[in-house]
Amino acid sequence: MNTGKIGEWLQVIGSFGVLAGLILVALQIQQNTVLVRAELLSNASDAWINIDASKQSETFASVLAKSIVKPHELTAAEILELDGYLFTYIDQLGRDRELYNLGVFDTPPEALVRGSLSDYFGNEFARAWWAETKWKFNPDITEIIDREMESISVSQDIDYIERIKARLSN
């Protein structure tokens, strides 16, 4: 076999090596993409869990209950505490919207808002807070919230509490 043939075979073998390397890199990128997406979804889920967990401290649960039952008796400190809670909720919706826009989430922002808004805005205080605060948020998410809020009763939270109390009385 002459040197030219050996060179050609080495070039073919080298080309297959490069191709195999590119395939390996592509598989690693795909695997990394899956892992990053899973991490982003997990982080978003953790954020929602943390927002919900904040309601479970006795102190904050009292403030939240007062905002539903006696919103006009809230102190300035309690209003500021609720401000942080509601701001975190809206901010999380905005982050989830960005993840949707990046293709990480399959659920559109409208569905995210529709599925959670009633848990936060079924009372007089939250509505007043929203009217004073919504200018701070992305207009896209604000528009979705305003539209979805029309289907939520301002007395929803108090009605919910009263229905539970009635069941307990029976």
Instruction: Let me know: does 154 contact 127? Beta carbons within 8 Å.
Output: yes
- Do 80 and 115 contact (CB within 8 A), yes or no? no
**Residue 168: band (very low, low, confident or very high) from pLDDT cuts 50, 70, 90:** very high
Write down the pLDDT at residue 133.
Answer: 95
Query: Given this model, what pLDDT does residue 166 score?
Result: 93
Task: Judge whether 30 lies within some domain.
Answer: no
Q: By the 8 A CB rule, do 121 and 127 touch? A: yes
Q: What is the pTM of this model?
A: 0.73
User: 85 is in which domain, residue-wise?
Assistant: 41-169
Tell me whether residue 16 is in a domain: no
pLDDT tens profile 29-51: 777 766 667 676 677 666 666 66
Residue 14 covered by a domain:
no
Q: Is residue 105 part of a domain?
A: yes
Enumerate long-range contacts of 100-107, CB under 8 Å, 24 or more apart. Answer: 104/37, 104/40, 104/41, 105/41, 105/44
Which amino acid is located at 94 in the chain?
Answer: G
Say if 129 falls within a structural domain: yes
Domain contains 144: yes
What is the average pLDDT value for the chain, to the nearest integer? 85
Domain contains 28? no
CA 34 to CA 37: how far, in whole Å?
A: 5
What value does the CA radius of gyration of the chain take, rounded to a whole number of Å?
27
Do the domain assignments include residue 122?
Answer: yes
What is residue 115's three-state secondary structure? helix
Check residues 116 and 1 and name the one with the higher pLDDT.
116
pLDDT tens-digit series, residues 151-162: 999 999 999 999
94/131: higher pLDDT: 131
Digit-coded pLDDT (tens) for 55-109: 667 898 899 999 999 999 999 999 999 999 999 899 888 888 888 888 888 888 8
The sign of the torsion formed by the CA atoms of 160, 155, 162, 120 equals positive
Please report the pLDDT score of residue 47 as a whole number. Answer: 65
Tokens of 59: 């102190």
How many structural domains compose the chain? 1
| Alpha-carbon gap, residue 50 to 63, rounded angstroms | 17
Half-sphere exposure in the Cβ direction for 63 (13 Å, CA): 19
DSSP state letter for 123: S
